[in-house]
Amino acid sequence: MKFMQKLQAAERLNDSLLCVGLDPDPARFPTHWKGDAGRIYDFCAAIVDATKDVVSAFKPQIAYFAAHRAEDQLEQLMAHIKRNAPHVPVILDAKRGDIGATAEQYAREAFDRYQADAVTLSPFMGRDSIEPYLRYPDKGAFLLCRTSNPGGDDWQMQRLADVPGQPRLFEHLARLAQGDWNLNGQLGLVVGATYPKEIERVRELAPDLPFLVPGIGAQGGDAAATVAAGWRKDAGTVIVSSSRAVLYAASGEDFAAAARRVAQATRDALRPVSPAASQAIPG
């Protein structure tokens, strides 16, 4: 099944726009596993099992595994999700961006090694740095467009003097992703929940693309404003990601149950409420 279809099916099945981010930090593990990087798989698998009927996607962040030499635990985790939550798409947050030949290797890493359904990419190096990922017809790729961090202003808000209308960089990218670059409908955009006005702008420029939206929870973005700005009935959807607020909801042996409660509350806060929208994710 293609990534976009899998995403749509998971949204409907779980009636959810929430993506749980898997950013395992051993220093924040529950007391009985605290500091033990050997428990990364156990921790993430428990979160997956507790939230798999509440989410539209999972988003493991590769840095949290690589930093602890835990790539083998990421492979195990991906296999666990395929086995126990096969209906939930997995977006590998890797933010890769390199020349074509190297991008081919990164694409193999994401899609062959880790079996991800989609990957995040930095589009800074241009179209040929994205193309190798699009050769996997069933997979998706999310391009960083207007990121959730304050430093995103340094580049993404700059105007391009040589392009008609002098769009900001993020606006130019949104147009490319909706148009020329999106040959087979595999692209989406990363837009931070911390900038709802820009989410709205990107939605104008890219009406059909799925948005991966980090920045609610620990970064303080507003769930309802995010959905109002980015989600359109029967058109572009949003995959709203929260990591730390869910993962570290409690520090005792009940951590997975606490994560589930926060995930459920977040999913509920993300329900579309505009008059044009239905309460449930439409089928």
Ligand X SMILES: O=c1ccn([C@@H]2O[C@H](COP(=O)(O)O)[C@@H](O)[C@H]2O)c(=O)[nH]1
Instruction: List active site positions.
Output: 95
Joined tokens for residue 191: 């837009």
- 269 touches ligand X (CB under 6 A): no
Task: List own/partner pairs for 108-114 with CB under 8 A and 24 or more apart.
Answer: 110/139, 111/136, 111/139, 113/75, 114/74, 114/75, 114/78
Helix (H, G, I), strand (E, B) or coil at 274: coil
Using CB under 6 A, pick the residue from 7, 11, 17, 21 that binds ligand X.
21
Query: Beta partners for 185?
Result: none
- 219 touches ligand X (CB under 6 A): yes
Distance (Å, rounded) from C-alpha 84 to C-alpha 76?
12
Among the listed ranges 154-162, 197-205, 214-222, 256-264, the one in contact with ligand X (CB under 6 A) is: 214-222
User: Minimal distance in Å, beta carbon 152 to ligand X?
Assistant: 7
Q: Could you give the string, one character per residue 35-74, with x where binding to ligand X holds by CB under 6 A and - elsewhere?
A: --------------------------x-------------
Distance (Å, rounded) from C-alpha 9 to C-alpha 40?
29
- 196 touches ligand X (CB under 6 A): no
Instruction: Output 13 or 122, the one with its CB closest to ligand X.
Output: 122
Distance (Å, rounded) from C-alpha 203 to C-alpha 163?
20
- 226 touches ligand X (CB under 6 A): no
Instruction: Output 27 or 161, the one with its CB closest to ligand X.
Output: 27
Using CB under 6 A, pick the residue from 9, 157, 218, 265 that binds ligand X.
218
User: Minimal distance in Å, beta carbon 216 to ligand X?
Assistant: 7
Of 122-151, binders to ligand X (CB under 6 A) are 147-148
What is the CA 93 to chain-centroid distance, rounded? 7
First to last CA, the chain: 17
Whether the CB-CB separation of 202 and 226 falls below 8 Å is answered with no
- 214 touches ligand X (CB under 6 A): yes
Q: Could you give the string, one character per residue 97-126, with x where binding to ligand X holds by CB under 6 A and - elsewhere?
A: ------------------------------
Using CB under 6 A, pick the residue from 88, 190, 206, 227 that binds ligand X.
190
Strands of the 18-22 sheet, one edge to the other: 57-60, 18-22, 238-242, 211-214, 187-191, 140-146, 118-121, 91-96
Using CB under 6 A, pick the residue from 56, 73, 156, 241 that binds ligand X.
241
Whether the CB-CB separation of 210 and 238 falls below 8 Å is answered with yes
Using CB under 6 A, pick the residue from 11, 93, 117, 198 that binds ligand X.
93
Instruction: Output 30 or 192, the one with its CB closest to ligand X.
Output: 192
Distance (Å, rounded) from C-alpha 161 to C-alpha 52?
46
User: Minimal distance in Å, beta carbon 28 to ligand X?
Assistant: 10
Among the listed ranges 37-45, 128-136, 171-179, 217-225, the one in contact with ligand X (CB under 6 A) is: 217-225
Whether the CB-CB separation of 230 and 213 falls below 8 Å is answered with yes
Chain contacts with ligand X (rule: CB under 6 A): 21, 23, 61, 93, 147-148, 190, 192, 214-215, 217-219, 241-244
